[in-house]
Structure 1
Amino acid sequence: MSMIIDHRFDHILDAETRRRAWIDTLSSFFVTQIDPEAIVPTTAFHRYHHMNQLVFGEIDASPQTIERTPALVAAQNIDHVVLRLYTSGRTNISIAGQAHEITQESFVTFDLSQPILSETKGMTGLNLAIPRRLLEGRVGDVSAWHGQILPSASSPITKLLADHFRNVSACLRTATPAQMSHIVPATTALCNALFLSEADSAYNHAAVTNIAIRQFIDENLATIDVEILMARFALSRTPLYKLFEADGGVYAYIRDRRLSRAMQVLSRSSAGRRPMIARLAYECGFENERVFSRAFRRKYGLNPSEINASSLPLTDREHASLLLSWMKDL
Structure 2
Amino acid sequence: MPSDATSRPADAASSGDEAAGGAVACLRFEPPADPEALGRAWQDHLAPVFAVSFRPETDLTVPIAMRSYNLGDLLVGDVIAPAHTLVRTEAMIHQQGIDHILLQFYRRGRSVVETDSRAGPVTEVQCIVFDLAQPVRIVAEAVDATNVVIPRALLEQQGCHPDALHGRPLDHDGDPFGRLVHNFVANVVACGDLLDRREALSAAAAITQLCASWLRGQEQGRPTEHQDVRIRLRRLIEAELGNPKLTPALIAGRLGLSRSTLYRLFAPNGIVAYIRDRRLMAAMRMLVRDDAPRPLRIAQVAYAVGFSDERTFRRAFKRRFGFIPSDAPHRADTEPDRASAAVLRNWIESL
Give the TM-score normalised by structure 2: 0.65
In the TM superposition, what is the alpha-carbon distance from 1:74 to its structure 2 partner?
Answer: 0.7
2:164 counterpart of 1:149: no
Residue of 56, 63, 67 corresponding to 2:87: 67
Relative distance call for 1:21 and 1:181 in structure 2 (3 A) is closer
Match of 1:329 in 2: 350
1:248-304 deviation digits (Å, cap 9, x = unpaired): xx9568425322569x99xxxxxxxxxxxxxxxxxxxxxxxxxxxxxxxxxxxxxxx
Query: Secondary structure of 1:84's partner?
Result: strand
Relative distance call for 1:120 and 1:251 in structure 2 (3 A) is farther
Match of 1:81 in 2: 101
Moved more, 63-72 or 28-37: 28-37
2:17 counterpart of 1:8: no
Residue of 32, 36, 40 corresponding to 1:20: 40
- The answer as to whether partners of 1:142 and 1:201 remain within 8 angstroms in 2 is no
Percent identity, aligned pairs only, is 25
- The answer as to whether partners of 1:89 and 1:121 remain within 8 angstroms in 2 is yes
CA RMSD in angstroms, aligned pairs only: 3.2
Relative distance call for 1:165 and 1:57 in structure 2 (3 A) is same
Match of 1:258 in 2: 267
Mapped partners of 1:104, 1:208: distance in 2: 33
Mapped partners of 1:101, 1:261: distance in 2: 42
Mapped partners of 1:156, 1:62: distance in 2: 29
Mapped partners of 1:320, 1:214: distance in 2: 21
Runs (4+) of structure 1 moved beyond 6 Å? none
Match of 1:282 in 2: none
In the TM superposition, what is the alpha-carbon distance from 1:141 to its structure 2 partner?
Answer: 2.5
Query: Secondary structure of 2:86's partner?
Result: strand
In the TM superposition, what is the alpha-carbon distance from 1:223 to its structure 2 partner?
Answer: 6.4
- The answer as to whether partners of 1:86 and 1:105 remain within 8 angstroms in 2 is yes
Letter in 2 for 1:231: G
In the TM superposition, what is the alpha-carbon distance from 1:122 to its structure 2 partner?
Answer: 0.9
- The answer as to whether partners of 1:113 and 1:207 remain within 8 angstroms in 2 is no
Bigger relative contact order, structure 1 or 2 (CA pairs below 8 A, ≥6 apart): 2
1:27-49 deviation digits (Å, cap 9, x = unpaired): 22211111366332352011111
Mapped partners of 2:198, 2:162: distance in 1: 30
Mapped partners of 1:100, 1:188: distance in 2: 27
Relative distance call for 1:206 and 1:50 in structure 2 (3 A) is closer
Relative distance call for 1:8 and 1:261 in structure 2 (3 A) is farther
Relative distance call for 1:169 and 1:217 in structure 2 (3 A) is closer
Moved more, 161-170 or 69-78: 161-170
Relative distance call for 1:251 and 1:91 in structure 2 (3 A) is farther
2:53 counterpart of 1:33: yes
2:51 counterpart of 1:51: no
Letter in 1 for 2:127: F
Mapped partners of 1:133, 1:30: distance in 2: 21
1:82-123 deviation digits (Å, cap 9, x = unpaired): 111011011111101632101231111111111111111211
In the TM superposition, what is the alpha-carbon distance from 1:156 to its structure 2 partner?
Answer: 2.0
- The answer as to whether partners of 2:50 and 2:86 remain within 8 angstroms in 1 is yes
**Larger-Rg structure:** 1
Match of 1:232 in 2: 254
- The answer as to whether partners of 1:7 and 1:25 remain within 8 angstroms in 2 is yes
Letter in 2 for 1:106: Q
Mapped partners of 1:31, 1:143: distance in 2: 22
Structure with the larger helix share: 1
- The answer as to whether partners of 1:64 and 1:120 remain within 8 angstroms in 2 is yes
Match of 1:133 in 2: 153
1:107-161 deviation digits (Å, cap 9, x = unpaired): 1111111111111121111111111111101224221121121011342210111
In the TM superposition, what is the alpha-carbon distance from 1:7 to its structure 2 partner?
Answer: 0.5
In the TM superposition, what is the alpha-carbon distance from 1:190 to its structure 2 partner?
Answer: 0.7
Letter in 2 for 1:30: F
- The answer as to whether partners of 2:105 and 2:146 remain within 8 angstroms in 1 is yes
Mapped partners of 1:90, 1:100: distance in 2: 11
- The answer as to whether partners of 1:217 and 1:224 remain within 8 angstroms in 2 is no
1:24-74 deviation digits (Å, cap 9, x = unpaired): 111222111113663323520111111011111211110100111100001
Mapped partners of 2:160, 2:131: distance in 1: 14
Matches within 5 A, 1:1-330: 2=19, 3-9=25-31, 11-14=32-35, 16-35=36-55, 38-41=58-61, 43-96=63-116, 98-198=118-218, 200-207=220-227, 211-213=231-233, 224=248, 231-233=253-255, 235=256, 254-255=263-264, 257-259=266-268, 321-330=342-351
Relative distance call for 1:224 and 1:203 in structure 2 (3 A) is same
Letter in 2 for 1:232: R
Query: Secondary structure of 1:206's partner?
Result: coil
